[in-house]
Amino acid sequence: MSDTNTYCVFCAIIRGQSPIAKVYEDNTFLAFMDKYPITSGHTLVLPKYHYGDLFQMTEDEVGNLYRVVHTIASAVYNATGAQGLNTGQNNGKAANQIVPHVHVHIIPRYEKDSRDGKWPSRKVSEYRELEEIANRIKKNL
C-alpha cells in the first residue's frame, strides 16, 4: 500500500475501501476485473505495495509481477474463450497511465471486437457481470 499521503484509488481498493470483482490475491499481488473494460474479461494485476511506475520496482519485483500476470492471463484466456490476448503496462502520463500505481492490463481479444485494427470502446460493466466473469477465471487458476 501507499507509503505517502497522496490518495491512490488502487491503494484504497487494496485496503478494502472499494468493492471489486476479485480474481486473485496473495501477500504481494492483487488481480481484479477492470470496472471499465475494453472487452469482456479485462483484468488488472497490481502489486499491493504502491509503486508509481515500473521503474520504482526492482528487477526481481517486476519478474514476480509478470509471473503472476502469466498465470492470470492463462486463466483469463481459457475462461473467456478469447481468440487472442493483449497485455499492457503504461508508465507516466505521456504513456496514458491513468492511475499512478503500477498495474498490468490483461485484455482478451475476440475476432468481432477489432475493426480496422482499432481498440474497442470502454464500457461501464455491472458488478454482477464482473463477478460472473471473475468466478469463471478463478475456476481456471
Per-domain residue ranges of the chain: 9-139
Parallel/antiparallel/unpaired status of strands 84-88 and 43-47: unpaired
Catalytic residue, candidates 42, 50, 101, 103: 103
Given a contact cutoff of 8 angstroms between Cβ atoms, the answer to whether 104 and 44 are in contact is: yes
How many Cα atoms are found within 13 Å in the side-chain-facing hemisphere of 33?
A: 28
At 76-112, the pLDDT tens digits run: 999 999 999 999 999 999 999 999 999 999 999 998 8
Which of the pair, 68 or 115, is modelled with greater confidence? Answer: 68
pLDDT band at 137 (very low <50, low <70, confident <90, very high): very high
| pLDDT score, position 2 | 44
| Percent of all residues in the chain with a pLDDT value above 70, rounded to a whole number | 95
* CATH level 3 topology of 9-139: HIT family, subunit A (3.30.428)
- CA 140 to centroid of chain Cα atoms: 16
| pLDDT score, position 5 | 58
Please give the backbone phi and psi of residue 65, each rounded to the nearest 5 degrees, phi first: -60, -50
Neighbours of 46 (CB within 10 A): 24
- Let me know if 103 is a catalytic residue: yes
Tell the residue number behind the cell numbers 457481470, with chain if given: 129
